[in-house]
Amino acid sequence: MHNFNIPDSKKIRVILSTDLKNEVDDQFAMVHAILTQSFDLRGIIPAHFGEEKSVTSQQDSYQEGLLILEKMGMSGHVRLVNGAEKALPDEKTPMDSPGAGLIIEEALKEDQRSLYVAVLGALTDIASAILLKPEICEKNVTVVWIGGGNYPEGGWEYNLKNDVCAANVLFRSKMNVWQIPRNVYRMMPVTFAELYERVRPYGEIGKYLAENVVGFNNAWESRPAEYRILGDSPSIGVMLFPDCGKWSCMPAPELDETMRYIHNGSHRPIRVYETIDSRFILEDFFAKIKDFARG
């Protein structure tokens, strides 16, 4: 692989919380994070995605993580740390897990480098960490969340739906938050032709990623015929380049039972992305997976 000789002091610490087996886009974000040399990847938390699709969704995500590492030839080289098996029962009760423990451990370390916790699904594990150790909100930690409905109204959104209580815990906390809501993470389309040209030729992992997308879409009548939205990849883009899209700051909202935003202005500001530079993200991924296959 290319070695840019990035000093350790310039690398950011990253934890990825991802519902890997939910669909087929988390896998791209996981591989991208592993291949990004400016990330000191401290661990990946395979997360639950509710019980509608599977009653063992967290373990399904864990097994998918093992498969990805195997296809990269990296089994045992990246930490997979189990997240909670289900959502918070309420806004005061954490679901303790090794994943929440990893977040707390890294947040409380004596390390001058920033810690980013990228959450590509339900917020259960970061919310549990906050409930268990509220002092982590005072540390140099940023939560990057792929989730939530369109601003300003909000409404149903899949990642939010899988733990609304956790979203309220995070939004009411003092944690630094960058949110990438549904209308923005959907700005990441890629065609099958591009995947077969720019991803599939590059190793076992490239073949798996491309064919997994096509197989998944073809299995569902409602899925698009020839493109896929890689909705989790914006998290990698904004950690690489925080201005990889237009954003604004606003007081964190709360969520009601219908997942609509309540703008009461009583919480600290969070960053909400309004656009994303999909080409910056995709071209970086294409270059890195090609280089990885050469290595």
The domain that holds 111 is classified in CATH as 3.90.245.10
- Examine the pLDDT at 182 and tell me if it is beyond 90: yes
Residues 292 and 207: beta-carbon distance below 8 Å: no
Which tokens in the block code for residue 254?
């709360």
Task: Flag whether pLDDT at 3 surpasses 80.
Answer: no
What distance in Å separates the CA atoms of residue 234 and residue 164, rounded to the nearest whole number? Answer: 22
Residues 110-161 pLDDT 10s = 999 999 999 999 999 999 999 999 999 999 999 999 999 999 999 999 999 9
Domain assignment of residue 191, given as a range: 8-294
Alpha helices for 82-233 (secondary structure H) = 98-107, 124-132, 158-161, 164-172, 182-185, 192-198, 203-218
Residue 62 tokens, joined: 């864990």
The string of pLDDT tens digits covering residues 252-295 is 999 999 999 999 999 999 999 999 999 999 999 999 999 999 98
Q: What are phi and psi of 20, to 5 degrees?
A: -55, -35
Total structural domains in the chain? 1
Contact of 77 with 50, CB cutoff 8 Å: no
For the chain, the average pLDDT equals 97
The answer as to whether 193 is a domain residue is yes
Interval 14-69: pLDDT, tens: 999 999 999 999 999 999 999 999 999 999 999 999 999 999 999 999 999 999 99
Please list the alpha-helical segments (H only) found in 47-153. Answer: 57-71, 98-107, 124-132
Rounded Cα distance between 41 and 12, Å, is: 8
Task: Look at residue 157 and tell me if it is in a domain.
Answer: yes
Q: Is there a domain that residue 19 lies in?
A: yes
Q: With cut-offs at 50, 70 and 90, classify the pLDDT of residue 231.
A: very high
For the segment 165-187, the average pLDDT, to the nearest whole number, is 98
Q: Would residue 2 count as lying in a domain? A: no
- The answer to whether residue 1 is domain-embedded is no
Mean pLDDT (whole number) for 94-121 = 98
pLDDT for residue 1 is more than 80: no
Question: In the prediction, which pLDDT does 295 show?
Answer: 85
